[in-house]
Structure 1
Amino acid sequence: MSFFVLGQVTVDWQLAAHSFWPILQGGLVYTIPLAIISFIFGLMIAMVMAILRLSHIKPLQTIARVYISIIRGTPLLVQLSIIYFGLPDLGIEISPFLGAIVALSMNVGGYAAETIRASILSVPKGQWEAGYTIGMNYFQTLRRIILPQAARVSVPPLSNTFISLVKDTSLASTVTVTELFRKAQEITATSYDFLLLYSEAALIYWIFCFFLSLLQGRIEARLDRYVASN
């Protein structure tokens, strides 16, 4: 084996080299797809909750408020445990991957709902009036006029939400989803080199988030150019 001693820490480079691909593969096969799928469903939930929050119907407002309060007021790990370990008590069996998607989607929905609601409220009220003036109803005005403008405002915070979600997928390891961190745990169970393998997992998370941050910057720059040209 090839070792490198740094202070009191011995680095096994051979183990690092052999473990890097399995951990990276766990990220590519499970972590990124899990984050993308959960984010898409989470945005759907968030859109519904945001519209309910903006509704003038009190019961609908209450439903959205309670949902958002519960999601934002409880830890994601607890939500994940309730979905995966709790639902079988009701006779609902669910796979680890699907359970993680449900929990992460609901969590994203609760947080992104407030982002979307704030983005919609940032659009001047005159835009609503303009839609009504040309004969559009509430939902037509929302879809054709308000949401396109609100989308430009919501991109930066929603991008940050997605990057955070990529890191939060590590909690799926608690329900045996073999994502990035779970792969590191499995290798650690046989090598007992916790510092090396967990640092390697952290490095891969950082690489993922670094490139996502670059992508976010490009999207924001394009949106800024689009807004400036209109």
Structure 2
Amino acid sequence: MNGLLSVWPQGWTRQQRSTATIAVSAAVLVLFLWLVATPLAWLPEPIGPAAQEFAEGARITVGLTLVAGLAGVVLGVFAALAKLAPFAPLRWGAELYIWVIRGTPLLVQVLFVFLALPMLLPGVQLSDFNSAAAALAVNVGAYNAEALRAGILAVPKGQTEAARSLGLSPTQTFIHIVFPQSFKIALPPLVNNVVALLKDSSLAYVIGVVELTNVGNRVQAATFEPVPVFMATACIYLILTTVLTQISGAIEHRLDIEQRS
């Protein structure tokens, strides 16, 4: 589904439709996070009295997603480059990182960063939010690395050879020729990873981060009314994922390498 992309005038270019969709979706997200407590306060117990808590939990969830998502993209780029490096130890390190992270549950990784990492590295003391953000970033970074690696390998070698024949250095060739194309190729799985990250951030509740799921769990524990509480929680998640999907879809549409429309 194109969502907002399909409502703009047909005469608009792909860039114009994408830019408008991103702007409107971002504005909706900001307004929703700012004003969500108002409609929630109109609802009967147990939702109404906890409206501010749900609103703050939603803001923390989005903040956690954005921080971990951006860091995960950076980690993914470095891991992808390391996995393709000719230097064997660097390549083995990247393969080990991706193998371990993709082969273990995210819940275990969150608990490891929060509980075990300070014991292994006594000088490292992270807050519950930073611990969750670090674990989520490391997790999504491993998946991003595979998507980016596939994108890099999908760029025709002839373009690299042509760039080198024109006098570009390997670094210039990668920055100006290979990476822009590989990033566009890898964009669909990257945006899917970010949307999934919003839902995965719910695991941060196990270390005390007061995000949306934690708020819902606290309210239902205090009121013993799980049905309305978790229905409200699910609706907030649904709205957040829908808006984020619109933004990510517009970015993908704007950078569409096939120039479909």
What TM-score, normalized by structure 1, do the two folds share?
0.88
- Is the contact between residue 106 and residue 139 of structure 2 (CA under 8 Å) also seen in structure 1? yes
The structure 1 residue matched to 2:77, chosen from 22, 26, 47, is 47
Distance, in Å, in 1 between the alignment partners of 2:119 and 2:158 is 51
The question of 1:32 aligning with 2:83 is answered: no
Structure 2 portions without partners, runs of 5+: 1-42
Superimposed CA distance per residue, residues 145-180 of structure 1 (whole angstroms, 9 cap, x where no aligned partner): 111111211111111000000001100111101111
In the TM superposition, what is the alpha-carbon distance from 1:25 to its structure 2 partner?
2.5
Structure 1 portions without partners, runs of 5+: 1-11
Number of residue-to-residue matches in the alignment: 216
Superimposed CA distance per residue, residues 166-225 of structure 1 (whole angstroms, 9 cap, x where no aligned partner): 00110011110111111112212211111211121111111111111222222232223x
The structure 2 residue matched to 1:196, chosen from 228, 232, 244, is 228
- Structure 1 residue aligned with 2:186: 154
Measured on the aligned residues, the alpha-carbon RMSD in Å equals 1.7
Q: How does 1:101-140 map to 2 (within 5 A)?
A: 101-140=133-172
- Structure 1 residue aligned with 2:25: none
SS of residue paired to 1:228? coil
- Is the contact between residue 80 and residue 103 of structure 1 (CA under 8 Å) also seen in structure 2? yes
The structure 1 residue matched to 2:247, chosen from 193, 202, 215, is 215
Distance, in Å, in 2 between the alignment partners of 1:156 and 1:176 is 32
- Is the contact between residue 74 and residue 141 of structure 2 (CA under 8 Å) also seen in structure 1? yes
Distance, in Å, in 1 between the alignment partners of 2:100 and 2:45 is 46
The structure 2 residue matched to 1:87, chosen from 117, 122, 126, is 117
SS of residue paired to 1:55? coil
- Is the contact between residue 120 and residue 150 of structure 1 (CA under 8 Å) also seen in structure 2? yes
The question of 1:142 aligning with 2:199 is answered: no
In the TM superposition, what is the alpha-carbon distance from 1:87 to its structure 2 partner?
2.1
Superimposed CA distance per residue, residues 76-110 of structure 1 (whole angstroms, 9 cap, x where no aligned partner): 00011111011232323321011011101110111
In the TM superposition, what is the alpha-carbon distance from 1:14 to its structure 2 partner?
3.5
Q: How does 1:16-31 map to 2 (within 5 A)?
A: 16-28=47-59, 30-31=60-61
Distance, in Å, in 2 between the alignment partners of 1:207 and 1:118 is 31
Q: What amino acid maps onto 1:207 in structure 2? A: I
Q: What amino acid maps onto 1:63 in structure 2? A: G
- Structure 2 residue aligned with 1:72: 102
Looking at both structures, which has the greater relative contact order when contacts are Cα pairs under 8 Å and sequence separation is at least 6?
A: 2
- Is the contact between residue 47 and residue 232 of structure 2 (CA under 8 Å) also seen in structure 1? yes
Distance, in Å, in 1 between the alignment partners of 2:95 and 2:118 is 27
The question of 1:228 aligning with 2:256 is answered: no
Q: How does 1:2-17 map to 2 (within 5 A)?
A: 13-17=44-48
- Is the contact between residue 205 and residue 214 of structure 2 (CA under 8 Å) also seen in structure 1? yes
The structure 2 residue matched to 1:181, chosen from 208, 213, 232, is 213
Q: What amino acid maps onto 1:202 in structure 2? A: A
SS of residue paired to 1:94? coil
208-217 or 108-117: which moved more? Answer: 208-217
Distance, in Å, in 2 between the alignment partners of 1:193 and 1:14 is 9
Distance, in Å, in 2 between the alignment partners of 1:212 and 1:158 is 13
Distance, in Å, in 1 between the alignment partners of 2:157 and 2:227 is 55
The question of 1:100 aligning with 2:132 is answered: yes
Runs of 4+ in 1 over 6 A off after TM superposition: none
- Is the contact between residue 23 and residue 181 of structure 1 (CA under 8 Å) also seen in structure 2? no
Q: What amino acid maps onto 2:76 in structure 1? A: A
